[in-house]
Amino acid sequence: MRTLGKAKKGISPVIATIILIAITIVIAIAVAAWVFGLFKSYTGGPAVTINAAQSSCKGGSPGSCSLVVSNQGGNSVSIVGATVNGQTAIVAAASCASTSASTSASTSASAIVTVSAGAVATAYVCGVTFTAGQTLTITLQLNTGSTVTTTIVAS
């Protein structure tokens, strides 16, 4: 018997159907995870933000800042350090006047301020000298290793 062309080989329709179903399921899981935010830490911005409109800084020697910090993430985070215009500052859970932090950043240790998941907290930054009208770049260091930065004009 003679064949006119080469015999064509391929995968069976059953195997092709199984592969297509598997690909469809993987795509559906990826889309659902993206829609429902299961990969927030990989797809979104920082979960912790400083609300600059509600925060304030008062110039002085030393000056003090009251920062409203919100945590939209699923886990609580702690603020473990701060800088103001590159100078090491002190983080306090209570107002700067009620802590020894009002004296100098070099003579006092920072307190840890914890912001629960989905909550808003106030963190006080103390121990750095600045004047009214000065633009301040404030960076908070978190226990996760990330930082959050905002800019505020001191009053």
- Give tens-digit pLDDT for 43-53: 454 588 888 88
Q: For residues 29 and 127, what is the distance between their CA atoms, to the nearest angstrom? A: 50
Helical ranges in the chain per DSSP H: 13-35, 40-43
- Regarding whether 69 and 35 lie in a shared domain, the answer is no
- Regarding whether 55 and 25 lie in a shared domain, the answer is no
Which has the minimum average pLDDT: 43-47, 67-71, 72-76? 43-47
Domain count, the chain: 2
Q: For residues 155 and 2, what is the distance between their CA atoms, to the nearest angstrom? A: 96
Joined together, the tokens standing for residue 86 give: 């590159």
Judged by DSSP in three states, 32 sits in helix
> Contact 46/149 with Cβ under 8 angstroms?
no
Look at residue 7 in the predicted model and tell me its pLDDT: 66
Nearest to 124 by CA among 143, 138, 137: 138
Using the 8-state DSSP alphabet, how is residue 112 labeled?
Answer: P
The reply to whether 74 falls in a domain is yes
pTM value is 0.63
- Regarding whether 90 and 140 lie in a shared domain, the answer is yes
- Regarding whether 95 and 116 lie in a shared domain, the answer is yes
Domain that holds residue 31: 10-44
The reply to whether 61 falls in a domain is yes
